[in-house]
Structure 1
Amino acid sequence: MSKVEIIDIIWEYTVKEKYLDQFLRIYSPDGEWAKLFREYPGFIRTDLKQDISDQFRFITIDSWVSYSSFSEMKERGKKEYEYLDKMCEPFTNEEKHIGVFRNINEISDT
């Protein structure tokens, strides 16, 4: 049996107050980013988390069945990905890629 290794791609954002509504709409689990990701095999979900002590600080967690699934989406959906990335640039004061993490709890046999 082979193992399925779920990965999470985590980003941190500090959002400009005047763009908070747009950010929430586009980065939500039903937002534009998740819609793009859903077009490709291997996408599981997007979670959006807000810091309880700073209403303008967020993290996103995009879960994929493998890093190769995510990489394939970035390659095949390059134009759409770059368009969304550019469109969302004004929303934040800071954007930081935290990293790609193996989800230990969800490693399972297939």
Structure 2
Amino acid sequence: MFVALWEFEVKPRSKERFQKVYGPGGDWAKLFRSDSHYQETLLLHDSDHPAIFLILDFWTSRQAYENFRASHAAEYERLDAVGEALTRKERKIGWFESVEHG
């Protein structure tokens, strides 16, 4: 399993639209669902810091995610531009892979 983990600071009055774009049923997830290697998206909100959200995108592997980004570059850039209009900051926390036991 692979997870792309992002942190966003959302502009005031943009939270509802942000959730519609980045949430599990949002525009990003709809795009991702076109790939069989996509698993799910989680959107987390920091109740102590109302403008802060975390997004976790789950994929079968890092390679699957990177292949998807390369093959859907135009759609990815278009949605990224929508997100930039809604946020003050975007930070890639990291790309994480599950640790195999054994």
TM-score normalised over the length of structure 1: 0.87
- Is 1:96 aligned to 2:91, yes or no? yes
Q: Does 1:63 align with 2:58?
A: yes
- In percent, how many aligned pairs have the same letter? 32
Asked whether the equivalents of residues 46 and 63 of structure 1 are also in contact (C-alpha less than 8 Å), the reply is yes
Which residue in the other structure is 2:11 paired with? Answer: 16
Alignment of 1:1-110 (within 5 A): 6-104=1-99
List gaps (5 residues or longer) in structure 1. 1-5
CA RMSD, 1 decimal: 1.2
Q: Partners in 1 of 2:30 and 2:98 — Cα distance?
A: 22
Bigger mean CA offset, 85-94 vs 59-68: 85-94
User: TM-score with structure 2 length normalisation?
Assistant: 0.93
Give the whole-Å Cα distance in 2 for the aligned partners of 1:52 and 1:103.
27
- Contact 1:41/1:69 (8 A) holds in 2: no
- Tell me how many residue pairs correspond in the alignment: 101
Q: Structure 1: which 4+ aligned runs deviate by more than 2 Å?
A: none
Q: Which runs of 5+ in 2 are unaligned?
A: none
